[in-house]
Structure 1
Amino acid sequence: MDKLSFVIPCYGSETTIDIVVNEIITTLRQRPEYDYEIVLVNDCSPDQVWTRIRALALADPHITGINLAKNFGQHAALMAGYRHCTGDLIISLDDDGQTPACELFTLVDKMKEGWDVVYASYAHKMHSGFRNFGTFMNERMTESLIGKPKGLRVTSYFIMRRFIADEILRYENAYPYIEGLIFRATRHIANVPVTHHERMVGESGYTFGKLLGLWFNGFTAFSVKPLRVATFCGTASACIGFCYGLYVVIRKLVDTSIEMGWSSIIASIFFLGGLILIMLGMIGEYIGRIYISINNAPQYTIREVISASTDSTETARRETP
């Protein structure tokens, strides 16, 4: 019997997490041959979602609750959930009801064709314009820097095999980026269409700053292409500067009456200075993340794990794989 594990990062979902969990359980009753577990990870949500998770976990032995000590981000919360689940197939979905749990067997049945990972794809996404722009930028970034196949749609609703999760968990540093870890492990990935639901309450927790941080996690941890771009830009700027210098000298030799202006010099200094600072900042970002990794910064810190099957909790421990 295959066991399905559902890993759900929770943030600001006090009023929706019960609905999502009930939808999963109701859908699973259609296929009683599947065993299952649900792992709910509270990413230090400011509302009372942990209270709801505790109640769900104590009432149902299939549910495990994990409470993180601070907000580490969605991808770190997923890593925490993956380390605590035991299923043969692992399904990740959102806590706000937009990812349709009622269509989970659409993903499961697609996996039977032999795929390693299957992402849900949406014909019409019920996100704001800002989130859709963020998704567009993330798609372009993963294509150009991480090697995502063109045409593949990456979403937060996906299913993967156990061995892919085990490979992902080999990543032991801070700043995890799930898509990068998946593309590093396999290219046998497919899409399956599902319906995207309206958000039940509130707005997305992803601000521009969080999206920018997520993109930085992706390209600094899994690609050196930005450094190669920096090398190319530096080389191109040096060549342009050398050619311009030759042009100025030759022009002065041909026409000695030409006065050399400061405006072009100042403009060149500002351009080259700004370019240098950008490249130094990029290199510094890489070095800073290397420094943090060397210092063994944790992916997440677990305050408490609760489950009715053990009726016990683990408190305040630092999780470093």
Structure 2
Amino acid sequence: MKVSFVIPCYRSEKTLEIVVSEIQNKMQQMTEHTYEIILVNDCSPDGTLSVIRRLCADNENIIGIDHAKNFGQHAALMAGFSFVSGDVVVCLDDDGQTPADEVDKLLDKIDEGYDVVYAEYKHKQHSGFRNFGSWVNKKMTETMLNKPKELYVSSYFAAKRFIVDEMLNYKGAYPYVIGLVLRSTKSICNVEVNHRERMVGESGYSMKKLLGLWMNGFTSFSILPLRVASYGGSLIALIGFVYAIIVVVRKLVDPTRMLGWSSTISVMLILGGLILLVLGLIGEYIGRMYINMNNSPQYVIRSVIKYNDK
């Protein structure tokens, strides 16, 4: 069986060679498998591309992909998927936190018949901010994408080739790998692995990037936000109708009663805020539809780096 490793690379000039070496050492022990490594440079501002060029020059089973601009982790994965030739695809991080030397645990579960296997960590070595982001992402995928509550999703996973081929059929400008996996198969499981501390630096996921990732998830694969907006609007309208009846009854019972301007303004602010929220949500969906209809690319590849390139 041939295993294809796909690694999105960003600010990893100091860690990438270590990760690749760990993969090579592990696969040398697993002689029943052949392998290849796809390294996707997502327009990293440091020397990551130079490291990829050096690795490709020394190893004929490593392919480098250089993006023309930063498209994000999920777009980098999709770019890597288009170059794989293995029977199983394994995705992992470039910072050394995902243990490449435990890939056999994922592959064993694939051999048992599962289509996708996600690594699960008992003790995550992330910052509090990243752990909070992971918790929000977990709740979002459960609510919006119907992810089973017992399933843990992470950036370290293995998938059979037919799942990856199905994911590549998605041509939208905003890929969300978790959503693509969940819509492709139900045969998914977890396997426990260790989670390491970062070797150097810190996570490249800022709050802005996390918000953009969550927005991709629920606008690309769910209409639940629109339904929630509709239900919320109906509820507010019902409350407003009931309140109007109460005001009329009070006025009939006590004609001298003064109508309150503060309550009127409060109702107007609530309704106005709700309307703007719903319009913004609808605009987000329409905007993404417009971008997709204009064939905005998931990624743009500047160059492909191979062993025999000069």
TM range (shorter): over 0.9
Identify unmatched segments of 5+ residues in structure 2. Answer: none
Encode CA deviations 1:22-44: one digit per residue, 9 max, x unaligned.
00000111111211000000000
1:69-80 to 2 correspondences below 5 Å:
69-80=68-79
Task: Read off the aligned partner of 1:220 and give its amino acid letter.
Answer: T
Aligned to 1:240: 239
Between the aligned partners of 1:231 and 1:275, the Cα distance in structure 2 is 10
Aligned to 1:118: 117
Task: Read off the aligned partner of 2:243 and give its amino acid letter.
Answer: Y
Aligned to 2:206: 207
1:44-55 to 2 correspondences below 5 Å:
44-55=43-54
Shift in Å, 1:311: 2.2
Following TM superposition, the consecutive aligned residue runs of length 4 or more in structure 1 with deviations greater than 2 angstroms are none
Shift in Å, 1:63: 0.2
Secondary structure at the counterpart of residue 80 of structure 2: helix
Secondary structure at the counterpart of residue 29 of structure 2: coil
Secondary structure at the counterpart of residue 84 of structure 1: coil
Between the aligned partners of 2:200 and 2:62, the Cα distance in structure 1 is 23
Secondary structure at the counterpart of residue 79 of structure 2: helix
Task: Read off the aligned partner of 2:77 and give its amino acid letter.
Answer: L
Alpha-carbon RMSD = 0.6
Aligned to 1:220: 219
1:5-44 to 2 correspondences below 5 Å:
5-44=4-43
Secondary structure at the counterpart of residue 112 of structure 2: coil
Aligned to 1:311: 309
Shift in Å, 1:57: 0.6
Secondary structure at the counterpart of residue 259 of structure 1: coil
Between the aligned partners of 1:83 and 1:29, the Cα distance in structure 2 is 25
Encode CA deviations 1:244-294: one digit per residue, 9 max, x unaligned.
000000110001121011000001111110111011000000000000000
Task: Read off the aligned partner of 1:200 and give its amino acid letter.
Answer: M
Shift in Å, 1:238: 0.6
Aligned to 2:255: 256
Secondary structure at the counterpart of residue 274 of structure 2: helix
Identify unmatched segments of 5+ residues in structure 1. Answer: 313-321
Task: Read off the aligned partner of 2:309 and give its amino acid letter.
Answer: D
Secondary structure at the counterpart of residue 85 of structure 2: coil
Aligned to 1:164: 163
1:52-91 to 2 correspondences below 5 Å:
52-91=51-90
Between the aligned partners of 1:77 and 1:58, the Cα distance in structure 2 is 21
Shift in Å, 1:146: 0.5
Instruction: Report whether the alignment pairs 1:95 with 2:94.
Output: yes
Task: Read off the aligned partner of 1:33 and give its amino acid letter.
Answer: E
Shift in Å, 1:199: 0.4
Encode CA deviations 1:147-195: one digit per residue, 9 max, x unaligned.
1111100000000000000000000110100000000100110000000
Query: Scaled by the length of structure 2, what TM-score is found?
Result: 0.99
Between the aligned partners of 2:50 and 2:143, the Cα distance in structure 1 is 42
Shift in Å, 1:113: 1.1
Task: Read off the aligned partner of 2:231 and give its amino acid letter.
Answer: F
Between the aligned partners of 2:57 and 2:290, the Cα distance in structure 1 is 41
Shift in Å, 1:18: 0.1
Encode CA deviations 1:58-92: one digit per residue, 9 max, x unaligned.
11001000000000000000000000111000000
Between the aligned partners of 2:32 and 2:233, the Cα distance in structure 1 is 60
Shift in Å, 1:14: 0.4
Shift in Å, 1:243: 0.6
Aligned to 1:296: 295
Task: Read off the aligned partner of 2:116 and give its amino acid letter.
Answer: V
Aligned to 1:145: 144
Between the aligned partners of 1:111 and 1:65, the Cα distance in structure 2 is 26
Between the aligned partners of 1:154 and 1:31, the Cα distance in structure 2 is 26
Aligned residues: 310
Task: Read off the aligned partner of 1:190 and give its amino acid letter.
Answer: C
